[in-house]
A = this chain, B = another copy of it.
C-alpha cells in the first residue's frame, strides 16, 4: 500500500502549505492535491519537496517496494 507522508512531514515541521510552496517551488494547489491523495506526486516534485524541506525523498512516502 503506497502512502505519501507529506502532511506528516510538513506538520511535524510546523509549516503551512504556503510556506512549503515557497520553500519548494511546488504550487500550493499541487501540494494540497498530493496531501489529499488527489494526485500522485511526480518524482521531480518529490525531489523539489525533499530539497526544500531538507529531508530525503524516502522520508516522503512508504511502500513495500521502497
Contacts and interface: CB of A to CB of B under 8 A. Distances in A.
19 contacts: A2-B43, A4-B43, A39-B42, A40-B42, A40-B43, A40-B44, A40-B45, A41-B42, A42-B42, A42-B43, A43-B43, A43-B46, A43-B61, A47-B63, A47-B65, A51-B65, A57-B63, A57-B66, A58-B58
Q: How big is chain A's contact interface, by range? A: 20 to 34
Interface in A8-66: 39-47, 50-51, 55-58, 61, 63, 65-66
A9 to B, nearest CB: 13
B50 A56 contact: no
- Shortest beta-carbon contacts, A-B, top 9: A40-B44, A40-B42, A50-B65, A2-B47, A40-B43, A57-B65, A47-B63, A41-B43, A47-B65
